[in-house]
Amino acid sequence: MKTASESNELQQDAQLVIEVLGEAERVALDYSVDSVSWLDGYIERHRADLDAAEKTLLQQKFGAYLGETIRHNYGGRWARDENGEWKIVFQEAQQAAPFAIIGEHLDHHTALSEVIAHLPDSLRLRHN
């Protein structure tokens, strides 16, 4: 099924973030909620230097990492919505949009650490 292979690509993108930033920034990203706080700071430190293409790339790669972090901590699965956007889907209509969350952070300084901290309450999820 093509969707499964595409979601594997998202997992590979998340792993790429771990490897590239791990080496370049000497940080151990591990899909923990704390690692999302580190990404938050990384974006803040580099925001002024990012052009549109770099923001798009970060949204793609960091969105995959954020989605995998959500999956590792709260469950869910990757699925495309009716518009073709990747989301993490939980039971019933509960879903998180990691790429949109990263985009909001890049454009409007939305705190990733606050979003991930409030995700369980907003979706009534339990930590794995």
In the prediction, which pLDDT does 109 show? 82
Establish if 128 belongs to a structural domain. no
Question: Cβ distance 39 to 70 under 8 Å?
Answer: no
Residue 70 has pLDDT above 80, yes or no: yes
Establish if 40 belongs to a structural domain. yes
CA distance 101 to 84: 16
Q: What is the pLDDT of residues 82-128, one digit of tens each?
A: 999 999 999 867 899 999 999 999 988 888 888 888 888 887 765 55
Nearest to 72 by CA among 6, 127, 117: 127
The answer to which of 38-47, 53-62, 84-93 has the lowest mean pLDDT is 84-93
The sign of the torsion formed by the CA atoms of 117, 107, 39, 55 equals: positive
Establish if 103 belongs to a structural domain. yes
Establish if 65 belongs to a structural domain. yes
CATH number of the domain at 101, please: 1.20.120
Establish if 23 belongs to a structural domain. yes
Question: Cβ distance 97 to 79 under 8 Å?
Answer: no
Residue 18 has pLDDT above 90, yes or no: yes
pTM of the model: 0.90
Look at the chain and report how many structural domains it folds into: 1
